[in-house]
Structure 1
Amino acid sequence: MWERFVNFTVFQNSIGDYIASLVTLVLGLIAIQLTDRVILRRLKRWANKTTNPWDDSLVEIIERSVLPLAYVGLIYISLQNLKLYSILDRVIDSFGIILLTLLGIRGINSLIEYLLKIYWLTREEYAARQTSLNILLPSIRVFFWALGIIFLLDNLGFDIAAVVAGLGIGGAAVALASRGVLEDLFSYFAILFDRPFEIGDLITVEGFTGTVENIGIKTTRLRSIGGEQLVFSNTNLTNSRLQNFRSMERRRALFKFQVSYNTPEEQLHTIPQIVKAIIDDMPGAIFDRSHFAAYGEFGLIFETVYYVEGNEYLRYMDIQQQINLLIKTKLQEKGVEFALRPREL
């Protein structure tokens, strides 16, 4: 009796096939619900207890992308146990492929965005990197959506070879016509990933010094010390040697001064000691050396090297100014005269 009932055929499928499909669907729904209520809710409670926003984002990605993908996959698998009419089978296959592709692309985009934010935004200079990331993410989304659409059309039975060939020819023509723009675009991505400098850094390029104000897709803008805006193409920046002062822990300073040839030898011996005492008493300055270095055209040349803690140019100039004033005062007290260029009559 039971065997006859199970083998009874309705719409090309036995009752047993319907039962197997239904059992697969119910067990799958139970497994997904248990995952949602037990594992996912525990992850939510754990994420709410932490101050890190990235674990909340990861739970959200699982909830928005993985669970819908699991539901669609479950329905698609449960229907595979049944023999359907060819038209209905093609409709279900097409519908399933479309849903799986759309959900998969959305999940991939969300995961890549999450990984990029963890890699970039958990470090310092959050605002500057957030701006760069906001510019980069749309390009990544467009790229993966384009790949997903090509994958979808191919699985739906469309001949995409001609489309890809057409895109290749058109892309080559566009690339030739806009070679400079594309070079700057790829250089922009190189700057974003390699990070030779960031917004707010003080850099020197080809003899020009300025603070980075904006990193655009084609150009990067600097504000020079004089106040004017300097504009460089991204290709020019990636192909040039540049100095970045952001990571400089201390600045090396070298200065020279000349004293008169009439200065007695005993005082010449004391001048390096005077300079050393001045720098040692200067907060933020570290003495390195001071020597009678050379004979100049108009006087005896003393050369001094010291270091300034930090990379602030204004602080360095303030310290240098104080050192210059104190050297002038101390040498005047000792009766030492600075060398002067003779006047021509």
Structure 2
Amino acid sequence: MNEFLNQVYFNNSIRSYIAVGSTILLVLLFKKYIAHYLALAIFKILKIRWKNIDFPTFRALAAKPLGLFFAVLITVSALDKLTLPSELEFTLYKITFRELLRMTGTFFIIFTFFQFIIKMIDFVMLMVQGVYIKEQAGQGTHQLVFFFKDLIKVVVAVIGLLFILKYTFNYDIKGLLTGLSIVGAAIALALKESLENLIASFIIFFDKPFATGDSVKLNSVSGVVEKIGLRSTRIRSDDKSYITVPNKQMVDSILDNQSNRVQRRAELKLEVSSSTSAGAIEQLLSGIRGILSGTGVLASSAFVTSITANAILINCEYFTGANAREFNVIRERNTLKVLALLEELHIATAQSVSDIKIIRDEPSDPDLNEHIQVQK
């Protein structure tokens, strides 16, 4: 039996062929189970740090790429134990067959490893997204999680490509990195405004002056925020038009987030006739204070603020809840009640009065001269 196993074909013994073939066959047959237990071992390590991670989700994302990476690694390592037959020592486009095999094996190892890393990023971001949305429910700021997930995946993919160039094709990536840095600086100068808007989007995500669904007012634009992008913010205006505002302007300008209002202020200014008696004014103030203490009003005040030649000025101020529709209803109700109170007390509002006097002088000549004086 030993003599049979020690027989050499194509520079390798039958024993070597059986060992390598058995290893590869076992890995392929039990790849699923091996991946499951490897994923379970990694999960237990992660569980020490993060208590709330979910194993089914982790296994669904990580088990398959982990099993594929493990199978490729074992297969390439096993095949490397065999000696390449002299019959296969040939050159193809200035590349030896041995070098071609090395490049192929290295490529698949690096590719499957970074594929597994990207899936792990998906899992981590899925967990972060779940926690983030739970803590920030209804605010829409979890868009930052999606952006960073894609950004990190792109960075990892670029690193994987550089590894492939370096270890598969033996490419000198130092010169490539230097060239990319120069190109990157040129692109940064050309895209200065876009980069400013990108940085402003980070400020919006972290500082949270507003979120998707908030009602905002910016300069002459007011409406509801429908989307916060990396370059601009989309607002559905009160006129139902779709407005795009650069993020830099959203950060640099004075912005009124009306959704964060806790109260709405209403003001009513009255100018009653200066001939109104003090008793009537007191009755009017008492009635107005009673009206403004009604349902929906959180705080109110009514005072005589000034007296002029023609009017007594009364300033009324009150606060309601933040709901715009309720505010308009309460304001209309109170205004009509104040008008009814004025009618009930027979108090007239101040009018602009003009006295016109026409003075006619006896003319010293035949022509008639008129002098008109107007007093207000």
Q: 1:153 aligns with which of 146, 165, 170?
A: 165
Matched, 1:262 2:240: no
Query: 1:242: which partner in 2?
Result: 255
User: Which of the two has greater helix per residue?
Assistant: 1
CA contact (8 A) 2:292 2:300 kept: no
Report how far residue 324 of structure 1 moved.
0.6
Matched, 1:318 2:329: yes
Query: 1:48: which partner in 2?
Result: none
Matched, 1:60 2:60: yes
Change in CA separation of 1:167 and 1:327 when aligned onto 2, cut-off 3 Å = same
Please tell me the residue identity of whatever aligns with 1:305. Answer: E
CA contact (8 A) 1:21 1:81 kept: no
CA contact (8 A) 2:39 2:62 kept: no
Query: 1:303: which partner in 2?
Result: 315
Matched, 1:332 2:323: no
Report how far residue 74 of structure 1 moved.
5.1
Q: 2:182 aligns with which of 169, 172, 175?
A: 169
**Which whole-Å CA distance do the structure 2 matches of 1:249 and 1:84 have between them?**
79
User: Taking structure 2 as the reference length, what is the TM-score of the superposition?
Assistant: 0.68
Query: 2:199: which partner in 1?
Result: 186
Query: 2:245: which partner in 1?
Result: 232
Matched, 1:117 2:143: no
SS in 2 for 1:301: strand
**Which whole-Å CA distance do the structure 2 matches of 1:39 and 1:219 have between them?**
41
CA contact (8 A) 1:28 1:74 kept: no
Please tell me the residue identity of whatever aligns with 1:303. Answer: N
Change in CA separation of 1:108 and 1:38 when aligned onto 2, cut-off 3 Å = closer
Give the unaligned 5+ runs of structure 1: 44-53
CA contact (8 A) 1:17 1:81 kept: no
Query: 2:352: which partner in 1?
Result: 341
**Which whole-Å CA distance do the structure 2 matches of 1:107 and 1:316 have between them?**
51
Query: 2:33: which partner in 1?
Result: 33
1:93-108 correspondence runs (5 A): 93-104=106-117, 106-108=118-120
Report how far residue 236 of structure 1 moved.
1.1
**Which whole-Å CA distance do the structure 1 matches of 2:271 and 2:130 have between them?**
56
Moved more, 12-21 or 227-236: 12-21
Structure ID, larger Rg: 2
- Give the share of equivalent positions with the same residue, in percent: 20
Moved more, 81-90 or 271-280: 81-90
Report how far residue 20 of structure 1 moved.
10
Q: 2:218 aligns with which of 202, 205, 222?
A: 205
Change in CA separation of 1:7 and 1:300 when aligned onto 2, cut-off 3 Å = farther
Query: 2:302: which partner in 1?
Result: 290
Report how far residue 172 of structure 1 moved.
1.6
Change in CA separation of 1:55 and 1:301 when aligned onto 2, cut-off 3 Å = farther
SS in 1 for 2:292: helix
**Which whole-Å CA distance do the structure 2 matches of 1:286 and 1:246 have between them?**
18
Change in CA separation of 1:297 and 1:134 when aligned onto 2, cut-off 3 Å = farther
Report how far residue 70 of structure 1 moved.
4.3
Query: 2:233: which partner in 1?
Result: 220
CA contact (8 A) 1:254 1:306 kept: yes
CA contact (8 A) 2:61 2:120 kept: no
**Which whole-Å CA distance do the structure 2 matches of 1:318 and 1:56 have between them?**
53
Let me know the Cα RMSD of the aligned residues: 4.4
SS in 2 for 1:246: helix
Moved more, 114-123 or 160-169: 114-123
Please tell me the residue identity of whatever aligns with 2:184. Answer: G
Change in CA separation of 1:39 and 1:177 when aligned onto 2, cut-off 3 Å = closer
CA contact (8 A) 1:219 1:231 kept: yes
Please tell me the residue identity of whatever aligns with 2:174. Answer: A
**Which whole-Å CA distance do the structure 2 matches of 1:185 and 1:219 have between them?**
8
